[in-house]
Structure formats: structure tokens, C-alpha cells
Structure 1
Amino acid sequence: MSNFEALVPALAKALEKRGYVELTPVQKAVLELGQADALVSAQTGSGKTVAFGLALAPTLLDGAERFSHAAAPLALAVAPTRELALQVTRELEWLYELTGAAIASCVGGMDMRTERRMLERGAHIVVGTPGRLRDHITRNSLDMSELKAVVLDEADEMLDLGFREDLEFILDAAPAERRTLMFSATVPRSIATLAKGYQRDAVRISAAGEEKQHLDIEYRALSVAQADRENAIINVLRYYEAKNALVFCNTRAAVNHLTARFNNRNFSVVALSGELSQNERSHALQAMRDGRAKVCIATDVAARGIDLPNLELVIHADLPTNPETLLHRSGRTGRAGRKGV
């Protein structure tokens, strides 16, 4: 128990039940915050979701062991994509399970009325994507009056995807007396400016290895003639026989093409791209998690921030266009102390 004695007891129990022995560097760092705002740069796979869950608990519970009835939400977590928002919801559900917290998700592609009913029933923490959250605020179905904290997850990606206006709208709608936590893989000027405008005396936390890829990933480069590319990918998949593999393409068309080719070769394969409905994307990820599919072929946006626990192999079928994309794609493997190629 000694590792977790600084934590709210219900969260310490949840971590033990989950098999945690020790906190990651970013999780330890946020415990020092008290009630301060923070701008945190941490690489993907460093345990950010649990980190902000731990950081929020003292603010939200305010000394209590458990939450009382949920009236208006106390915390809002904003994530760039539907997959990431749903993943954050799942993580917070187990972390806060023993506190009696009600957690609601509001994401594009889901039924607005269902979400509205969920919010009416009451939620302590709401997780969502920027556009959908803004819709709910505009339609008065999301009450911001009691918010004690707002978390922006993968803030750099949200700005890259053009969500600045939505984020500013959400932050402006939240009470001035609130905590604002921003998590970002990198901190370009655009993030620094956003932080300056919406945070008060924010503590800057830089978790180890912010710029460099973590050491649990082995990189291998194979030079292949363009005409042999597909056969080479198939040979690499067969050679490694990974439990789960993720193949990245730069376009939806390339995803569709490779998916068809792999199907013909009898691989258990699913696709993940922006043109699929939320339902189809959720089914694809679930098939990977429960072992019905071994290979997922995806575009960058679709795979941003997703966590597949058994992912052992990442293949760049099309090379990424910049170092950040290489980091994010490759960082889908080698997570939480496991090795990846």
C-alpha cells in the first residue's frame, strides 16, 4: 500500500485491484499539484489518463470518501477523437469505481438524445469530443455551472485538427474559478498560448522522454521496392506472428485497398478510418481486443490515442510525413512496460 498512501483511498484500492504496483513518472508528478493548474507534456503510453484521474480526485471529492448524488457535472475531460474519449471514459470508470462516480460520454457519431438523457440523470464527470460538447452546451443539455475542473487531453492534436474555436468556447463557458489541466505530447507555441489564456500560474510538468521515443520499442527499417511492398508487409506479419499488429496508411483509399488484399490472403483483419461510423470503429477495436482480429489497418486520425493492450507490432506501410506522427504511430506499441517492434 506504501506506494499509494498519498492517494484518495478509493482510488488506491482501484489501482491495487487493477494490478498496479507503482505509479508512472507522470502519475507521481501530478500528485504534487495540490489544487494548481498544470500544463503536462508526456509521451503516449505514459499513463496520462490515470494521471489526470488522480490529479482531479482531491478537487472533486473535497475530502469525502464517495460522491453524493450527481446534480451538475463537477469535471469535464475533452479529447480529440471519439475512440480516445471512449477509452478515457473506460479508464476513469475503473479508477473511480469505488467512489460511486457517474461518468458520461458525449461524442460525435452517437445519438444526441441518449446522451442528453444520460446528462439529465446526472453525471459527476463528463468526457467528450470538442464539437459534441459544444453542441450540448449550446442546447443547454450540459450544465457547466458547478464545474470544478476541465482537462484537455492530447491538446496539441485538438489544435492540429482545427478544434481551437470549440475549445475556447468550452473554456469560456466554464466557471472562472476552476482548475484547468492540459496534457499534450508536445508543447508548440499554439499550446503555450492557449495555456496562458486559460490557466492561472500553471505548473509545467515534463515527463521523461517527451521528445524521444521510449526505450521499449525496437525500430527496424526494411528497404523494399515499391512493387514488392504488399508482399513485404505480409511476410513481416507472418514472420513476427504478433498477437496484434497495426498497419498504418496515409489515406483511406490505401486502408481499403490493403484490407481487401489481406482478406484475400486469409488474415483476420479490420479497418479503421474516418469514413467508418462510430459503431463500425468500436466493433473493429473490440475485435482486436478480444482476439477475433489480429491485424488492424488504419489512418493516423482513426488510430490517434487508441490503446490495444496486446499490440506487439506497428508497420508503417506508408511512411509518416513528420517525426511527431512517427512517434504517435509507433507509440501504440511498447506501452506500460511491454516491448514492441
Structure 2
Amino acid sequence: MPFPFVNAHLNGALEARDYAEPTAVQTAVLQPDAEGRDLLVSAQTGSGKTVAYGLAIASTLLAGEERLAPRYAPLALIVAPTRELAMQVHAELTWLYGPAGAKVISCVGGMDVRREARALHDGGHIVVGTPGRLRDHLERGRLNTSELRAVVLDEADEMLDLGFREDLEFILDATPTSRRTLLFSATIAPEIATLATSYQKNALRIEATAKGEAHGDIDYRAVRVAPNELEHAVVNVLRYFEARAAMIFCTTRESVRHLHASLQERGFAVVALSGELSQNERSHALQAVRDGRARVCVATDVAARGIDVPDLGLVIHAELPNNRETLLHRSGRTGRAGRKGTCVILVPHHRRRRAEQLLMGTRLNIMWSGAPTADEVLKLDHERLLADPLLAEEPGEEDIALARNLLESHSAEKIAAAFLKMRRANLPAPEEISDEAAPPPPRGPRLAGGREGGTEGVWFQLNVGRRNNADPRWLLPIICRLGKVTKQDIGAIRIFDRDTKFEIAPSVAQGFADAVRKSDDPKIRIEPAGAGPIAEDGPRPPKRMHRGAPPPRDAGAPPRKFKKKHA
């Protein structure tokens, strides 16, 4: 179905951008019963919401006119949670409303506030900004809201999650009561409903995506990995899918720094995105992904909120998110506006149950598997090479002449081998990885009191002891990571002066021994402990006595005589 007629200039802008037909949310907000009303809209991320509310407020802003006349006070205010999203909205509304004569102003934290103040003073039709910066302009009297006809809260749920409720209420209280208020959110949580009740009048509730159908354009995969092979799994997933652009999510800035450096070292064109970067650095990183100079972006959740990267075909959850909302938000960076995408969730053995809890109730169709192996990646490389469009193209006369010259000097096999070598030079090598990750452990402890089913556990020793401030709280994760086991597989732990001995369940002991033998940790060495937990340090020395205390007395020795102290 083509776009309904909104305005000749806006329709022309849509045609110029190859918008052939509206998405579900765009169709919903353009229905006759939504005309001129407050709207409370929930729609999945990437569904075309920006264009949707841009078209929804068109009749209110234009008021029957074909073009917008120059103005001092703005007619519409768009509030977005993050700098990146606000800048994207600014760009979208600029091309949509530009032919109709609209001037769109951005007011974003981290940008030049004096430039924004001059733009507001000169006047415009639409102001797009983040809550904190908009409130600052309001408090300083730079933003005139007296003639606003429409206010849009974009991704309102994220703004509340980020703690902007007070700023939003301040902004809404400063706008005319006659305005239209459009509230767009991924989900309508109780906090969103309360905000809508307070600031909207007779709002039309629009559910643009049916329940259970969110992210229908995304192929979800959960990949089981060993804890010490997470980075290898990331490399192989990137190489296996070969998306034009990919985004990898981590939970902390430190994880982003580490993974960014690791991928860069392996030859990937990668950028990092975290809260510690300046706005200029973040903008340059995103632009590098958009124009193809970088293929991979490693980001934290906060830094990646609201980001829209065209042709983002792959999202990797390198670390599990804290909740379902974050999981869906991360995943929604791909599969946007009708495009297909893939989402890969890396699940270490010891986080399997946590992953299942996160996925429970999401109604997502998820396929579980092991990580792609190096052989699988190389096989796919071979298939891609044979299907390369370059090989199907008819060569030009100049190319044919050069090919003949090459064949006169070299054999066909040698030329083909050189071609393969040049092609592989731009492809980072896949990593060796376990063919299949271990299944999740059964519920309940495997070892209880050092036994599994009444049998003795297998003892191992670690070259860290009391002298190294050894503590079970940080030893357990190391043992699990190096041995590819879970804490349920570990029994008693005995810490001695120079080493530590610990018990492993017999059913996983052989796999544990093989895994630690292959580990390359330069500081931690684990090996079988032989007969058991007897300390190699020998018998403990007697406890030291306080200075000045007499030595211990042999049994049966005569009473000790002391010299009388002088008065």
C-alpha cells in the first residue's frame, strides 16, 4: 500500500528516499482516527518510528499550508534519550521536512552550546534534543515554547530508565496545554502509563506490533562456549556470518576496551563505543561503521542506545545483559525497517541457566548450537569464493589482455593461488575452538562433602597459596575458566602456604585435565595432585610465640626457676 497523501513536499521527500509503502507503525499513526489526537504508541525498535511521528505531526505543523513560513518560536519539540539518537532524528526530520521549508535545530549534550543558542535565537520550526540540554536551554530562557503545537517523546521507556523523569516533567510543564503529545515507547510499562495519564488528553493507544511478533526479521542463535574461548567465539562468529556491519555488546567499559584491542590485533576493522569517549570520538566511530571504514563496533549498552546503523546485519551479545529489556534493545539494532538480521548470544557453560532465565517469556524462536569451528568458517569461505559475483562478470578487453600476459609468464594454478592469497590477506584467520560445548550441569551440587555418588573426587593442585593471598572467591572463577567446568563440579578446596589443592567431580575430571593442559595462562599452573590433599609443604611449623615468652616446657621437666627481679 503506498503512503497516504500527507503533503506534496513530504511525499516527494519519501519518494526520493525510496519509501515505497509505510511500515505498520506509520500506517497506524496515519489512520483517520489518529488525526490531531495525542498518541501513545508502542512499536519495536527499527520499525520506522521517526518517520512515523514526523508524518503524524505534519498536519498539525502545516495547518493546511503547503510550505512552512519562517518562524522565531518552534512549532514542534522532539525529546530523545541519547545524543546519538537525537542526531539521527535531526537528520531524518531534516530530509523529510526540508522540501517543505522547515528548519530543524538540534540541542544535544556534549555539543557546542553557544552554537545551539544562536540557532534558537535565529528561529526554527522543529527542535530535537536530549532532556538535560533542553532543560538547560529552557532555564536560561533560550528556548521559547510558547507556540509549540506538538511534543514527541521518543523512546520514553529508555528516558525513564536513564533517570530523566524529572527533566521530562519540567519540559512538559513548560509547554502549552493545547499541544499535541505523542509518546513512543518499545513497551508501555506502568511508569510510561502514569506519564501518559499526567500529560496526555484522550490519547489513542496504538499497538503497532502484535504480541509475540517483535523482532520477526531477526534470526536468534544461542551459542554455547567455554568461558576461556569467548573471544575465539566472537572471532569465529564474525567470520562465519561476514556481515557488512556488526555490533558487539559488552557490559563494562573495560570489557569494551579489551575486546576492541583483541579484535584490532587480529586484523578486524573495529571501533569502540563507550561512555568514556567524547561526543566527537563517538560520532567519528559511528561514521566509520556507516561509511564502511570499520566493519565492527564494540559497545556498552548505554553508549549504543538508540543507534541506527544501516545494513547492520549482525549483533553479538559477548556478555549477557542484565535483563530482558536490554536483551531486546541490543538485538533490535539489527533487523530494522524490514531488513533481515542475525543475533548471536554467547552463553558460557556456567551462565547457561542465567541465559535461559533471560530468554524465558520473550517468545523468541532461538536455535542453540556450538560456536562455529575454524573448519566450518574455512569451508564457508570456499563456498563464498566460488559464488563471488566477480567470477560471474564478463571481463573487459583490457582485463583479458592482462590475463593473457599473466598466463604467458605463470601457470593458471600459480595465478589462482596468488588470487587466493590476496583474498585471504583481508580475512582474519578463524580460531581453533571446541567443536561442541559441554551440556548444562544437572540441578543441585555434583559434589557434596567431597563425594559424587559416594565416590572420591579427583584432586588437582594449583601453584598459588597463602603467600599469594589465595582466596576461594577468586580461585573458583579461575578454575572454572581454565578447566571449562562449573562451580558445581568443584568440591573441597584446601589452601596451603605455597599451593592450593582442590577436588573435581570424577565425571568431568578427564575433560578438566585436558582443558588445563591446553590452557596458556602464564601465571596459573594446574596439574594432578597425586594421592590427595596432603600438603607438599610438610608439617606445619609450631605457632610463633610473642616476643619474651618462654620456650615450651618438655613433659616431666622440673619446674622452671626464674631470677628474682630487682626492686
Q: TM-score range by the shorter chain?
A: over 0.9
Mapped to 1, the partners of 2:3 and 2:266 lie a distance apart of 49
What corresponds to 1:49 in structure 2? Answer: 50
SS in 2 for 1:333: coil
What does residue range 1-341 of structure 1 map to in structure 2 within 5 Å? 3-32=2-31, 33-209=34-210, 212-341=213-342
How far does residue 216 in structure 1 lie from its aligned partner after superposition?
1.1
Misfit runs of 4+, over 4 Å: none
Using the size of structure 1 for normalisation, the TM-score is 0.98
Mapped to 1, the partners of 2:212 and 2:112 lie a distance apart of 38
CA RMSD of aligned residues (A): 1.0
For the 8 Å contact 1:213–1:327, the answer to whether it is kept is no
Q: Deviations over 1:296-335 (max 9, x none)?
A: 0001111111111111110000011211111111111111
Q: Which amino acid aligns with 1:186?
A: T
Mapped to 1, the partners of 2:136 and 2:240 lie a distance apart of 48
For the 8 Å contact 1:42–1:210, the answer to whether it is kept is no
Structure 1: which 5+ residue stretches go unaligned? none
SS in 2 for 1:145: coil
Mapped to 2, the partners of 1:165 and 1:212 lie a distance apart of 33
Q: Which amino acid aligns with 1:225?
A: A
The aligned length equals 340
Mapped to 2, the partners of 1:215 and 1:138 lie a distance apart of 43
Using the size of structure 2 for normalisation, the TM-score is 0.59
How far does residue 3 in structure 1 lie from its aligned partner after superposition?
2.1
For the 8 Å contact 1:73–1:143, the answer to whether it is kept is yes
Q: Which amino acid aligns with 1:330?
A: S
How far does residue 222 in structure 1 lie from its aligned partner after superposition?
1.0
Mapped to 2, the partners of 1:141 and 1:73 lie a distance apart of 12
Using the TM superposition, name which of 175-184 and 235-244 deviates more. 235-244
For the 8 Å contact 1:38–1:202, the answer to whether it is kept is yes
How far does residue 5 in structure 1 lie from its aligned partner after superposition?
3.8
Q: Deviations over 1:91-117 (max 9, x none)?
A: 101111210100000010011101001
Of structures 1 and 2, the one with the larger relative CO (CA 8 A, separation 6+) is 1
Q: Highest Rg: 1 or 2?
A: 2
How far does residue 29 in structure 1 lie from its aligned partner after superposition?
0.9
Q: Deviations over 1:133-189 (max 9, x none)?
A: 000000001001110010000000000000000000000000111000000000110
Q: Which amino acid aligns with 1:185?
A: A
For the 8 Å contact 1:43–1:210, the answer to whether it is kept is no
Q: Which amino acid aligns with 1:4?
A: F
Q: Which amino acid aligns with 1:13?
A: G
SS in 2 for 1:127: strand
Mapped to 1, the partners of 2:178 and 2:214 lie a distance apart of 37
SS in 2 for 1:222: strand
Q: Which amino acid aligns with 1:260?
A: A
How far does residue 211 in structure 1 lie from its aligned partner after superposition?
5.7
Cα distance change of structure 1 residues 66 and 329 upon mapping to structure 2, 3 Å threshold: same
Task: State the percentage of identical aligned residues.
Answer: 66
